[in-house]
Structure 1
Amino acid sequence: MWKRVFTSGSVSGALHPRRTLATGRSSSVSSAVDSILLRSLKEHYLEVSKMTPPPKVNPPSEFKIVKGALDNNGPVLRRSYGDEEISISVMRLANFLPGGDGDDEDGINQLFLHVDISKPGREDCLNFLCGLYPDAMGIHSVSMRPKLGSSQSLRIPSKYQGPAFQDLEEKMKDVLHGYIEERGVSESLFPFLQAWLYVKDHRNLMRWFKTVGTFINERKPV
C-alpha cells in the first residue's frame, strides 16, 4: 500500500476523466462542487491515515537523526568523525532527475544523497552528491560549498564545482569512495533512509489533504 501510494502520483492509483462544468455557475452549483471536493478529500485523508507504516528501521549506530528533519528539507542524519561533522540530506532520485518515472520499481530504490563534511573554523564544507541503492552507492560529484545550517534547505552552489567525477582517473575515484565509506556513508544507510522517506511522504500527503480541505471550506465573513 505504501509503495502504491508514493510511486503512483495518485492516492487511488488510477486516472479519472475530468468532468467539465459550464462557465457562469450559480452559487448553488459552486457550493455543490465544493461539497463533492471536500467529501473526496476527507475520504482520501481517511484512507491514507489508515495505512500501515513500514517497519521501524534505525540508522547505523554512529548516526543521529536530526531533530525536526521530517518537517523541512535540511539534513536527515548527522554524526561526528574526529573533528569533522558529517551531515546527510536525502531525496528520491526519481524526483530529482527530469522525467523521472515514479511508477518504475526502481523509482523507490534510487535515492539521491547530499553528504556535507565540515570542519571547525571553516565557512565551507566538502560536498558529495551520491546515488544510493539497496546494494551499492555511486558518487556523482565532489565540490566545495558554503556550510548549511541545521534547518536550511539545499541550494545550488554558484562557484566552480570541479571536474566531472566520471572524468577523474580510476585511482582517485576509488580513493574518494573510500574516503566517505570510512565516514560511514555507504549502502548500509539505504534501509533507514528509504523508510524515513516513506514516513515523510505520508506526513506530507496527510498535511496536503488537510490544508487543501481547510482552504476550500473556509468562508469569508459576512
Structure 2
Amino acid sequence: MTSPVDRFVAAARSAGATADRSDLAAAGEYLLSRWSEPQRHYHTVAHLTAVLDVVDRFAGLAPHPDRVRLAAWMHDAVYDPRALGDANERDSAEFAAGLLATLGVPDEAITEVARLVNLTAGHATDDKDPDGELLCDADLAILASDDEAYQAYVTAIRREYAHVPDEDFQAGRARVLTALLELPSIYRLPPLREAWEAKARANLERELKS
C-alpha cells in the first residue's frame, strides 16, 4: 500500500516539482503533521486520505488530477476552528503557494492549486471546471456516507467547535446545511451526482430537522 508521503511526492512530481525526493518527502511529512494537530477531530489525516481516495478513483474525469491531489493536500493545511469566514481557505491557499514554490512547482500549477483550495470555502464551481468539481465533490463525499459514518462526522465537527455554545452552534450549523441544500446540486460531476446526491440530501435534511 502506498504511504501518504509517497502519494504526496508522486503528485508533486507529476505537477512539475523539481525538488529532490528528500525535500518532497519532508514537505509531505510536514503536511501530515499539520493534518494531525490537536484541534482537529474531523479535518484530520483520515479526511485527507478519504478526499485523495475519491480523487484517485475519479481522476479520469479531471484534466489535471495531480493538481487536484495537491489541492486536496493543501485545502485544510491551515485549520483553526475559531477562524472567521473563509480565513482558513485563504490562509491554506497562501500556504500552498509558498510551500509549492519552495519545491519548484511551476507558477502556473501553483496558481491553479491555490485557486482550487479557495473553491473549498463555498464549494461553488464555475461551469466547465472539472478539476474544481472533482476537488469539491471529493471534499463533500462524507455527506453521502452511511448513517453511522455521517453521525461520526457530525460528532467530530461538534468537537472541533466545542468552544461554541450549543445554541450558537446549532444556528450556525443550520445555516451551513441550508446553504448546501440550496445548491442546484451538491455534486457536480455526473457519476458522483448520480451515485451520491440523493443520500447526501437525505442526510442533510435529517440533520437539519434534528
Give the TM-score band, short-chain normalised. Answer: under 0.3
- Scaled by the length of structure 1, the TM-score of the pair is 0.23
**Structure showing the higher helix proportion among its residues:** 2
**Structure showing the higher strand proportion among its residues:** 1
- Scaled by the length of structure 2, the TM-score of the pair is 0.24
